[in-house]
Amino acid sequence: MSYVYLALAIIAEVVATSSLKASQEFTRFWPSVVVVVGYGLAFYTLTLALRSLPVGIAYAFWAGLGIVLVTLIGFLVYGERPDLPAVLGLAMIVGGVVVIQAFSSVSPH
């Protein structure tokens, strides 16, 4: 169940972060509400995931996958095109998460 909570935390954080741009510096009401509620839900579900996941592992997944997903949304929704170094860096982040999940003894399998 901890990975379900972690997945919910990642999704909520990605939605909140992606809505920051739409909030136009908190001048638009509904996108601003999405930001506040999204971050609240993200942190709450992250705390639920931390019941059984080590904080470093949970945070690596949360931050790493969040970065990649927000970049993807930035590309699809806002037309923000990452350059080659950015794509390579994102690939390394994904690789790091895969290595942790596949080979680390501190990550529950």
Give the orientation angle of helix 84-103 with respect to helix 55-78, to 10 degrees.
150
In a domain? residue 44: yes
- 108 pLDDT band, cuts 50/70/90, is low
| Of 108 and 72, the one with more pLDDT | 72
Work out how many domains the chain is built from and give that number: 1
In a domain? residue 72: yes
pTM flag (> 0.85): yes
* 43-64 residue pLDDT tens: 999 999 999 999 989 999 999 9
For range 8-31, the mean pLDDT: 97
In a domain? residue 109: no
In a domain? residue 108: no
DSSP SS3 for 19: helix
Domain coverage including residue 68: 1-103
Are the C-beta atoms of 15 and 45 separated by less than 8 Å? no
- 105 pLDDT band, cuts 50/70/90, is confident
Annotate 1-20 with b (16+ C-beta within 10 A) or e (fewer). Answer: eeeebbebbbbbbbbbbbbb
Matching residue, tokens 């999204």: 38
DSSP SS3 for 54: coil
